[in-house]
């Protein structure tokens, strides 16, 4: 360990290394240079040498598990050291058709060998095909493609404000959002999310977003003013704990928006693209939004997002009003078309519903067996949450040790979001591994995760 005096010597030596005798540093500098070389091993006598920073080369914005995967197959992932994990995280609800799906892999490989990117200065047949398929299978009349969920949500807000302005209401710019929302990490979407933890250190929140309690129609009514452009919400709040908007609430929102001229904007970044057993989650309530964002599962792991809108909303987005360099490129849209080939095949979404029902039944049994670990099951389709009694991080770690990958969420919830292609055997194995995680080495009919008096 070097003291401050020694370090001062090293810095002085670095500043005056040009002071030499017969081509060598002066004697009183020599030890300082030696110390400096020991302290920073790569340092040489070149004053332009860069001293290595203490920060990793990969910016440490994530708390990563010490697992590195080299390949995947279906709902399974394999680490570089040979371990096998059942993946009920699916890249945070993104690997919709699992890992290594033959059709997706072949499509991406073939498209990559032809052309990956040309920009939106030219027609992109793959994007045109994808847009038409989404329009044919949803409420929308038009689709805009981008690269991520946050971008899709930013675009959705622009679509809504622009539509209001062109309808003669330029003062309508405010967006009513929900407590517990998560809409992304851009500055504007941090404000739409409203979580103080995410806003800390990033300056004054972007104006134009206000928040009301989730699933509370009276709160929305009270918040609407002549300046309101849209009500923006997730039909299922994923990050805050798998909280499902009731069908009655969504229907009441639709009626309220129709009555007031406010647009209904749905964030289906996580709950859309087949995750609930319908192509989009709002379909369970029998409603249609004015504009919708989606991403995650749309590319099956390849980055792509989309804004879907009715003609009344989309017609104002003329040339120059919005854009993206990478969005909707041939490779991304080829991947998304391959995903839709799977999801829109006859019977596939019904299969998702069947897998969800199986998991619901088995997980409900587990909740009853382990009331000291789980207090309830939440969710819809294959967007499942188990509210934990002990800290959710402990439950997640125990599951990982049992070879099951899960994701944490707010409200102390363990999130299970497997690939939509998950098999019955995979579902039963996941429950078995979760049971193993909480009951292995149990004593006195208590699970390993319950506190001992």
44 pLDDT above the threshold of 60: no
Cα gap 322→310, rounded to integer Å: 17
Confidence at 125, pLDDT banded by 50, 70, 90: very high
425 CB neighbour count, 10 Å cutoff: 9
**Tens digit of each residue's pLDDT (9 = 90 or more) over 311-369:** 999 999 999 999 999 999 999 999 999 999 999 999 999 999 999 999 999 999 999 99
Q: How open is the CA angle 40-45-50, to the nearest 5 degrees?
A: 50
pLDDT at residue number 448:
55
Confidence band of 451 (pLDDT split at 50, 70, 90): low
pLDDT at 293: 98
Q: 193 is written with which tokens?
A: 């999310």
Counting residues of the chain whose pLDDT is more than 90, the rounded percentage is 85
Q: Which of these CATH numbers, 3.40.640.10, 1.10.760.10, 3.40.50.720, 3.30.430.20, describes 102-343?
A: 3.40.640.10
What local confidence, expressed as pLDDT, does residue 40 receive? 47
Q: What is the pLDDT of residue 51?
A: 62
Q: Coil, helix or strand for 158?
A: helix
Q: pLDDT-based confidence at 136, cuts 50/70/90?
A: very high
Retrieve residue 449's tokens.
């995760």
β-pair type (305-309, 236-237): unpaired
pLDDT bucket at 17, cuts 50 / 70 / 90: very low
Q: Where are the alpha helices (DSSP H) in 279-347?
A: 311-314, 330-343
Find the mean pLDDT for residues 244-262. 98
Average pLDDT score over residue span 278-283: 98
**Sheet strands (E) in 9-50:** 20-21, 24-25
Read off the pTM: 0.86
Average of pLDDT values for 239-248? 97
Q: Residue 178: pLDDT above 80?
A: yes
Q: Encoding tokens for residue 327?
A: 């969005």
C-beta separation of 241 from 272 below 8 A:
no
Of 36-40, 339-343, 403-407, the one with minimum mean pLDDT is 36-40
pLDDT value of residue 123: 96
Q: What tokens does 12 get?
A: 């002085």
Identify whether the C-beta of residue 304 lies closer than 8 Å to the C-beta of residue 379: no
Q: Which residues face 405 on adjacent strands?
A: 87
Mean pLDDT for the chain overall: 90
Residues 304 and 131 sit within 8 Å (Cβ to Cβ): no
Is residue 228 within 8 Å of residue 174, measured between CB atoms?
yes
Residue 19: predicted pLDDT: 40
What's the pLDDT tens digit per position in 413-435?
Answer: 999 999 999 999 999 999 999 99
- Residue 18: which pLDDT band, with cuts at 50, 70 and 90? very low
pLDDT of residue 53: 74
Residue 268: which pLDDT band, with cuts at 50, 70 and 90?
very high
Structure tokens at 243: 């909280």
| Torsions phi, psi for 117 (to 5 deg) | -150, 135
Mean per-residue pLDDT, 60-70: 94
> Which is it for strands 404-405 and 413-416: parallel, antiparallel or unpaired?
unpaired
CA angle 300/306/311 to nearest 5° reads: 140
Q: Which residues lie across from 87 on neighbouring strands?
A: 405
Interatomic CA distance for residues 101 and 34, integer angstroms: 57
- For the segment 295-308, what is each residue's pLDDT rounded down to a tens digit? 999 999 999 999 99
- Are 219 and 212 a contacting pair, CB within 8 Å? yes
Predicted local confidence at residue 300, as pLDDT: 98
Sequence spans of domains, the chain: 4-52, 69-87+347-447, 102-343
The structure tokens listed for 73 are: 């197959």
Give the model's pLDDT for residue 440.
77
Both structure tokens of 92: 């945070």
3-state class (DSSP) for residue 288: coil
| Partners of 236 in the β-ladder | 244
Please check whether residue 374 is in contact with residue 412, taking contact to mean a CB–CB distance below 8 angstroms.
no
Compute CA distances 212 → 192, 203, 217, 228, 365, whole Å. Answer: 11, 22, 9, 13, 35
The CATH number of 69-87+347-447 is 3.90.1150.10
Amino acid 9: pLDDT: 42
Residues 6+ apart with CB under 8 A from 399: 405, 406, 414, 433, 434, 437
Whole-angstrom Cα distance, residue 333 to residue 330? Answer: 5
- Residue-level pLDDT at 35: 46
Q: Which of 14-18, 157-161, 291-295, 370-374 has the lowest mean pLDDT?
A: 14-18
* Alpha-carbon distances of 329 from 119, 205, 340, rounded to whole Å: 7, 32, 16
CB-based contacts of 308: which residues, under 8 Å, 6+ apart? 134, 135, 138, 139, 140, 142, 143, 291, 292, 293, 294
**CB of 184 closer than 8 Å to CB of 153:** yes
Q: Helix (H, G, I), strand (E, B), or coil: what is residue 153?
A: helix
Average pLDDT over residues 119-126: 97
Q: Which residue has the tokens 């990982």?
A: 400
Residues whose CB falls within 8 Å of the CB of residue 59, separated by 6 or more in sequence, listed in order: none
């Amino acid at each position: 360990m070097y003291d401050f005096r020694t370090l001062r010597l090293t810095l002085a030596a670095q500043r005056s290394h040009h002071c030499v005798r017969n081509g060598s540093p002066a004697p009183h500098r020599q030890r300082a240079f030696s110390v400096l070389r020991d302290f920073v091993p790569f340092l040489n006598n070149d004053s332009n040498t860069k001293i290595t920073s203490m920060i990793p080369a990969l910016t440490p914005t994530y708390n990563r598990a010490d697992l590195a995967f080299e390949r995947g197959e279906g709902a399974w992932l394999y680490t570089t050291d040979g371990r096998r994990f059942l993946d009920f995280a699916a890249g945070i609800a993104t690997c919709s058709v699992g890992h290594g799906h033959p059709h997706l892999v072949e499509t991406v490989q073939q498209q990559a060998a032809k052309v990956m990117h040309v920009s939106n200065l030219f027609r992109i047949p793959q994007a045109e095909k994808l847009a038409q398929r989404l329009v044919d299978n949803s409420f929308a009349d038009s689709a805009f493609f981008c690269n991520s969920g946050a971008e899709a949500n930013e675009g959705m807000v622009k679509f809504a404000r622009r539509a209001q302005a062109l309808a003669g209401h330029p003062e309508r710019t405010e967006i009513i959002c929900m407590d517990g929302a998560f809409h992304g990490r851009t500055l504007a979407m941090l404000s739409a999310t409203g979580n103080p933890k995410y806003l800390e250190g990033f300056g004054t929140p972007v104006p134009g977003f206000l928040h009301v309690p989730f699933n509370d129609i009276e709160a929305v009514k009270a918040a609407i003013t002549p300046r309101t452009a849209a009500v923006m919400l997730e039909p299922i709040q994923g990050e805050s704990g798998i909280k499902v908007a009731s069908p009655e609430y969504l229907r009441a929102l639709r009626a309220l928006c129709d009555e007031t001229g406010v647009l209904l904007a749905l964030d289906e970044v996580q709950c859309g693209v087949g995750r609930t057993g319908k192509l989009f989650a709002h379909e369970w309530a029998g409603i249609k939004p004015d504009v919708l964002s989606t991403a995650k599962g749309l590319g099956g792991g390849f980055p792509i997002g989309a804004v879907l809108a009715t003609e009344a909303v989309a017609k104002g987005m003329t040339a120059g009003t919005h854009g993206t360099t990478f969005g909707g490129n041939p490779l991304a849209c080829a991947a998304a078309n391959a995903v839709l080939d799977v999801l829109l095949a006859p019977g596939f979404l019904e299969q998702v519903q069947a897998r969800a029902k199986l998991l619901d039944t088995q997980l409900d049994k587990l909740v009853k067996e382990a009331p000291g670990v789980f207090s309830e099951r939440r969710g819809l389709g294959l967007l499942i949450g188990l509210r934990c009694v002990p800290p959710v991080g402990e439950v997640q770690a125990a599951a990982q040790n049992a070879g099951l990958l899960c994701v944490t969420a707010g409200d102390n919830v363990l999130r299970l979001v497997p690939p939509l292609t998950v098999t019955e055997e995979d579902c039963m194995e996941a429950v078995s591994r979760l049971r193993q995680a909480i009951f292995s080495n149990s004593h006195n009919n208590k699970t390993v995760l319950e506190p001992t008096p």
